[in-house]
């Protein structure tokens, strides 16, 4: 199995907008192509910002790459993402004002099962 963590640091005033976007746009498209969401959580930080992260599970790294390729080649999905950014002032504006950090990283179990 291959696991990844998608991690964001978001300003609190953008949380509902960002979570709605995930639930209405990103999650359905990921599931459509075979990704499995383990869970998605958020936690307030001491500096007033909010960490949001999701854990995803895939059969293999190759399956992850296949799913990601399908997602980015889905023209209707790409247009929905573009439209969402435009609604909020453009991608550059969103990452400048509201989403301050993004990481996409492989994670590893520490269990000896």
Averaged pLDDT for residues 24-34: 96
Mapping DSSP to helix (H, G, I), strand (E, B) and coil, where does residue 50 land? strand
For 53-83, the pLDDT digits (tens) are 999 999 999 999 999 999 999 999 999 999 9
Architecture label for domain 2-106: 2-Layer Sandwich (3.30)
The domain locations on the chain are: 2-106
pTM, entire model: 0.90
Range 76-83, long-range pairs (CB < 8 A, 24+ positions): 77/25, 77/29, 80/25, 81/25
């Amino acid at each position: 199995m291959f696991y990844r963590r998608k991690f964001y640091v978001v300003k609190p005033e953008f949380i509902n907008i960002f979570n709605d976007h995930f639930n209405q746009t990103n999650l359905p498209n990921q599931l459509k192509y075979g990704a499995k969401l383990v869970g998605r959580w958020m936690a307030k930080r001491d500096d007033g910002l909010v960490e949001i992260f999701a854990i995803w599970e895939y059969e293999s790294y190759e399956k992850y790459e296949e799913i990601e390729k399908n997602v980015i080649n889905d023209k209707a999905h790409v247009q929905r993402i573009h439209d969402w950014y435009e609604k909020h002032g453009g991608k550059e504006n969103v990452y400048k004002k509201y989403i301050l950090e993004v990481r996409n990283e492989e994670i590893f179990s520490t269990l000896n099962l």
